Structure 1
Amino acid sequence: MTTDPPGAPLAPVTPDHLRAWLTLRAQIPWHRARPVTLPARHPVRDGAVHDIRTHDHARSPHRAHSLLTALALARADAASGTPLTFATLSAWQRHVLDVPEAPFRRHPAYAKAGRERYGTGADLPALLDACLAETEAETSPLPLTARAARAYLDVCFFHPFDDGNARSAFLTLTYVLARADVTLEQVGPVRRVQRHADDPEGALALADLLAVLIGQ
């Protein structure tokens, strides 16, 4: 066994970006997000379906088929008023990944080539449920765009699954919008841009982007 010599600098420890996000999340002025007029107009095309049939299908037809199945389930849950919880996300994720179970991850997760680390903790599933509960218009005074963007980022940074978290965040966003009978005509600007846990301006920019996409 080798040991570091006395006085050797300690290896840097990547901070827990999930906990950083939870702190930042409470400080972001979400009420400043650009509102939208509802009911929104119905788009010429279903952007989510179109993106899956083009972007995801180009990567893998099986991936696209699985995601389309999960998307239909997410929208059905939105229409029926199924509460948005980790259990709901897990039910969608079983279709996304084509697996029998999709439990909450047990180990730290990394993203962006290791530049972001999301820690673990027994409290995380309950914390995620509490965050997702804030998406309902009946319990939140925030604009739809802020609630949808925040939920999307929550799933990104909780990173609850061992795989497919970007798709889970996309389904969560779609669910929140569907609860307000909103369908985006294009989703590429949302799905193709990386979001960072320590970027409050970027969080509000995502909400404003949704307002633009909804109002197109």
Structure 2
Amino acid sequence: MTTPDHLAVWQRVRDTVGWRDVVPHPEAPAPAVRDGFVDFACRFAGRDPQRLNRLLTAYDDVRLEAAAGADLTPDLVARWNGIIRGVPVAAFRRAPAYAKNGRERYGLHNDTEHRFASCLAETTDRETPVTARAGRAYLDVAFFHPYDDGNGRLAGLVLQFVLLRERVELDEVAPILTTVRRADDADGAADLTRLVHGIATATHRRWLRANRPTRQFVVHSAVSDAAGGGNS
């Protein structure tokens, strides 16, 4: 039996999710006490120094492009994919792709590359909360599976880029990047968006708590009170 085209499934599911309403707009800017993506990279890629170095190099570029307000284009994500794989040119795949030990197949059609570019362009839609756009873009990379390798790492970088471009940071990303997602799961896509939004909100709250001004208490001694006349 032929495995269904899960990219086509995702494209249908994608249109059923209420991206504009699933979460509210987060507060921005929302800085973090620590960079959750760097922590995640060091924990999960730290055993391979070359792999870690490539991932962090790509992430440095993500942060630079986000700070510059760059558009998310196929050329940009191809550059990041090339960096994390250590290849000079990352070309869009030329055959169907498989994931989850072959349980999911992502088809390739004449318009697949164009559809992927259109999905990336939707990350600038300010009517949709940025946390929803980031979660959707993460899933787009996962299910379009645009390159022969490195798509999981690239999805994490794209999610970070969409958030950072609007100055929203995360101090924890492991729950987002380590959970297996299904192309046919509309509720799961909405739940991912809620997870991204929840972590962004908690990150901001922790940053505010860490940077809360300390109160200064003035201690009046009996001598100073007497010198000042005290209260009569």
Establish whether TM, by shorter chain, passes 0.5: yes
User: Which residue of structure 1 aligns with residue 169 of structure 2?
Assistant: 183
**Secondary structure in 1 aligned to 2:131?**
helix
**Matches of residues 104-143 of structure 1 in structure 2 within 5 Å?**
104-136=92-124, 139-143=125-129
**Secondary structure in 1 aligned to 2:176?**
helix
The C-alpha deviation readout for 1:65-93, integer Å capped at 9, x for no partner, is: 00000011111111112211111100111
2:44 matches 1:55: yes
Quick check: 1:35–1:144 contact (8 Å CA) kept in 2? no
Match for 2:87: what amino acid?
Answer: V
Deviates more, 1:87-96 or 1:41-50: 41-50
**Matches of residues 18-167 of structure 1 in structure 2 within 5 Å?**
18-58=7-47, 60-136=48-124, 139-167=125-153
**Secondary structure in 2 aligned to 1:77?**
helix
The C-alpha deviation readout for 1:135-194, integer Å capped at 9, x for no partner, is: 11xx34111121111100000000000001001100100000011101100110011101
Deviates more, 1:115-124 or 1:29-38: 29-38
| Structure 2, gaps ≥5 residues long | 203-232
Distance 2:30 2:121 in 1: 26
Paired-residue identity, %: 44
Match for 2:100: what amino acid?
Answer: K
The C-alpha deviation readout for 1:67-122, integer Å capped at 9, x for no partner, is: 00001111111111221111110011111000111000001111111111001123
Match for 1:77: what amino acid?
Answer: E
User: Which residue of structure 2 aligns with residue 9 of structure 1?
Assistant: none
Q: Offset at 1:32?
A: 2.7
Q: Offset at 1:37?
A: 3.0
2:146 matches 1:170: no
Distance 1:46 1:174 in 2: 11
RMSD: 1.1
Change (3 A) 1:40 1:83: closer
Distance 1:83 1:34 in 2: 23
**Matches of residues 193-212 of structure 1 in structure 2 within 5 Å?**
193-212=179-198
Return the index of the structure with the highest Cα Rg. 2
Distance 2:167 2:30 in 1: 9
User: Which residue of structure 2 aligns with residue 215 of structure 1?
Assistant: 201
Quick check: 2:26–2:129 contact (8 Å CA) kept in 1? no
Distance 1:37 1:199 in 2: 24
Distance 1:82 1:142 in 2: 18
Match for 1:143: what amino acid?
Answer: P
| Structure 1, gaps ≥5 residues long | 1-11
Tell me the TM-score normalized by structure 1.
0.90
Tell me the TM-score normalized by structure 2.
0.84
Distance 2:66 2:30 in 1: 18
Post-superposition, which runs of at least 4 consecutive aligned residues in structure 1 deviate over 6 A? none
> How many pairs does the alignment contain?
202
Quick check: 1:108–1:118 contact (8 Å CA) kept in 2? yes
